[in-house]
Each structure stands twice: as structure tokens, then as C-alpha cells.
DNA sequence: TGATTGATGTACT
DNA sequence: GTACATCAATCAC
């Protein structure tokens, strides 16, 4: 079984605003009962430190938000609406006390049967299995106990670069080698070099009258069938 | 000590 | 489009 190497901590040691677009096109990997389940990240949101009113770091360090204030490259998992889990990658600079990137959606590429089973909806099309923060945690088997885990140490839970030549048994991620609009189901496989990104407002975040363009902190892989929901029309900007 | 609130998903009209 | 499940953290007294 091919286990891609973990991305180093330096990858996450930057502002969530830089990390959020950089995470698009990377792999989130989890070893579940000896099976690799992995998905290509296609949608993220940046949450900054205490000055970001929508960030859990706004109220300072608590037992729940502790990982957000810790070293970059760790997981921050929290309960949502009392019944779901949501997964974040901790990332901030030494100047900023806290920060994280919410992984909103990913395209399953390895361990598809396991992901269907974990998700509990066997007939859902693969691109919808992890299309949403709570669905993603379900499909990848991520739970609250994973909060605080170091994602730079490999199994059981880690971030990795998408291999330039994915193993035969992996599903086609539909990535074209390089730039271009051909990021659909018929695109030829290959690494994601300069992904065409969309940018827009964070989902279900109250902007309190302020125009969202002041904080366009949601990022997505253009044309991906695994996005949790569309980006706003012409206001959703390309080429981030 | 009690009330309100979500970084959601599903089912139903 | 709307209703609702379900609960820890946070906020208002």
C-alpha cells in the first residue's frame, strides 16, 4: 500500500490566508483499520486570530480551541451544531497567536469503499461523499479525539502532496497537469501545479453589514464536482 | 444557573 | 424554499 509522505511543518507555518489556498490540491490522509482513506482537498476557509470575529480564537484560548493557539501543522476538530465534526489545519505565524484553515470539501481518491461505509450513504456519487465539512469528517473517519493531532508525522492522520503519478488503485482525481480549464471528470490525471482557484465569502459567517469582499476567506478549486456549494456568481473571483 | 447560538446535513413541501 | 435534529461553548443575567 502506498502511503504518501507527510508535508513538513513549514508548509503550515504561515498565515491562514496563505495556507488556505495552498492546501487546495493537497491530500488529507487517514489510516483507518489498516486501510488508507485519502481525499484531495478542493475547498477551504481561513480563520484568523482573535481579531477575526468569526474565528473560534476570538474568545481567547479555551480547552476546545487550544490547538488553534498551538504549533502549526496540527489538527483542530470541533463539534458543530451539536451533532457533526469539522476539521481544521492549524496555521499561523509567530506574530499571530492563533489561526486555522477549515477544510470544507475534498474529493475521495483512495479507500473509496471505506469512505462510503464511513459516510453511511453507499449510493451517493463519490464527489459528494466529502462535499461539506461534516460530510468530510464522516467520510474520512475524523472525530473529536483527533483534535490536537500532529499532521506532519505520517499515519494515522496526515497531510501529503498529491503524487505526480498516483498508484493504479487510486481513483482518478480529474487533475490536468498544469494550468487550464480541463479540471472535469474527463481530464487526464496528474499533479496539481497551479490550480485555478475561486475566492468568495465564508459560508454561514455573519458579515454584520460589512461587505464580504473585505474578508474573501473561502477558496475553492474551480470546476470541481466536490465543492460543498457554488461560489457566488461573477463576484466569486478567479486566479487567486 | 439558565438561555442562546451555531464554520451543517437531511428530509420534506 | 422550510423544518428540525442536538449539545458544548459562550453569553446574559
Give the CA dihedral A25, A26, A28, A34, nearest 10 degrees: 110
| A113 burial level (CB within 10 Å; 0-12, 13-18, 19+) | exposed
CB A179 within 8 A of CB A187: no
> Å between A79 CA and C5 C1'?
14
For residue A187, pLDDT beyond 70: no
Q: What is the mean predicted confidence (pLDDT) over A176-180? A: 47
What is the value of pTM for the model shown? Answer: 0.91
- Which nucleotide is closest to A65, CA to C1'? C9
Strands A100-110 and A35-47: antiparallel
CB A55 within 7 Å, strand B? yes
Angstrom distance (rounded) from CA A88 to CA A69: 13
Highest mean pLDDT among A60-74, A166-180, A197-211: A60-74
Share of chain A above pLDDT 90, in %: 75
HSE-up of residue A202 (Cα within 13 Å, Cβ side) = 24
Q: Nearest residue to nucleotide B5 when comparing alpha carbons to its C1'?
A: A81
User: A237: helix, coil or strand?
Assistant: strand
pLDDT bin (cut points 50, 70, 90) of residue A176 is low
Q: Nearest residue to nucleotide B6 when comparing alpha carbons to its C1'?
A: A81
Can you give the pLDDT at residue A212? 83
Can you give the pLDDT at residue A167? 94
Residue of A189, A235, A196, A234 lying closest to A212 (CA atoms): A235
- Which nucleotide is closest to A61, CA to C1'? C9
Can you give the pLDDT at residue A208? 72
Q: What is the mean predicted confidence (pLDDT) over A180-195? A: 46
User: A138: helix, coil or strand?
Assistant: helix
CB A81 within 7 Å, strand C? yes
Can you give the pLDDT at residue A56? 94
Can you give the pLDDT at residue A234? 60
A20-39 pLDDT tens trace: 999 999 999 999 999 999 99
Q: Which three cell numbers stand for residue A130?
A: 466529502
CB A153 within 7 Å, strand B? no
* More confident: A225 or A232: A225
For residue A190, pLDDT beyond 80: no
CB A218 within 8 A of CB A42: no
Q: What is the mean predicted confidence (pLDDT) over A214-235? A: 88
Chain B bases near protein Cβ (<7 Å): 6-10
DSSP string for A21-70? HHHTTEEEEEEETTEEEEEEEEEEEEE-STT-TTSGGGG---TTTHHHHS
CB A204 within 7 Å, strand C? no
Can you give the pLDDT at residue A76? 97
Can you give the pLDDT at residue A184? 41
- Which nucleotide is closest to A55, CA to C1'? B7
A65-99 pLDDT tens trace: 999 999 999 999 999 999 999 999 999 999 999 99
Residue of A28, A24, A2, A16 lying closest to A183 (CA atoms): A24
Q: Which three cell numbers stand for residue A136?
A: 468530510
Mean pLDDT of chain A: 89
Chain C bases near protein Cβ (<7 Å): 5-11
Q: What is the mean predicted confidence (pLDDT) over A226-230? A: 95
Q: What is the mean predicted confidence (pLDDT) over A127-137? A: 97
Q: What is the mean predicted confidence (pLDDT) over A174-202? A: 60
A85-94 pLDDT tens trace: 999 999 999 9
Amino acid at each position: 500500500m502506498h502511503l504518501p509522505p507527510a508535508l513538513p511543518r513549514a508548509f503550515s507555518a504561515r498565515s491562514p490566508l496563505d495556507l488556505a489556498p495552498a492546501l487546495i490540491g493537497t491530500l488529507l490522509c487517514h489510516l483507518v483499520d489498516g486501510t488508507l482513506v485519502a481525499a484531495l482537498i478542493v475547498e477551504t476557509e481561513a480563520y484568523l486570530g482573535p481579531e477575526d470575529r468569526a474565528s473560534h480564537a476570538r474568545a481567547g484560548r479555551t480547552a476546545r480551541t487550544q490547538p488553534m493557539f498551538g504549533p502549526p501543522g496540527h489538527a483542530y476538530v470541533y463539534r458543530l451544531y451539536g451533532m457533526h465534526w469539522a476539521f481544521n489545519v492549524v496555521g499561523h505565524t509567530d506574530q499571530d497567536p492563533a489561526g486555522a484553515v477549515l477544510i470544507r470539501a475534498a474529493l475521495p481518491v483512495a479507500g473509496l469503499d471505506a469512505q462510503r461505509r464511513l459516510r453511511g450513504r453507499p449510493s451517493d456519487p463519490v464527489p459528494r461523499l466529502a462535499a461539506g465539512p461534516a460530510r468530510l469528517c464522516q467520510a474520512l473517519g475524523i472525530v473529536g479525539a483527533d483534535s490536537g493531532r500532529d499532521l506532519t508525522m505520517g499515519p494515522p492522520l496526515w497531510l501529503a502532496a498529491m503524487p505526480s503519478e498516483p498508484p493504479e488503485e487510486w481513483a482518478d482525481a480529474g487533475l490536468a497537469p498544469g494550468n487550464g480549464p480541463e479540471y472535469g471528470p474527463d481530464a487526464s490525471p496528474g499533479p496539481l501545479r497551479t490550480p485555478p482557484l475561486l475566492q468568495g465569502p465564508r459560508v454561514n459567517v455573519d458579515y454584520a453589514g460589512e461587505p464580504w469582499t473585505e474578508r474573501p476567506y473561502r477558496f475553492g478549486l474551480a470546476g470541481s464536482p466536490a465543492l460543498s456549494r457554488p461560489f457566488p456568481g461573477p463576484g466569486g473571483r478567479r486566479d487567486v
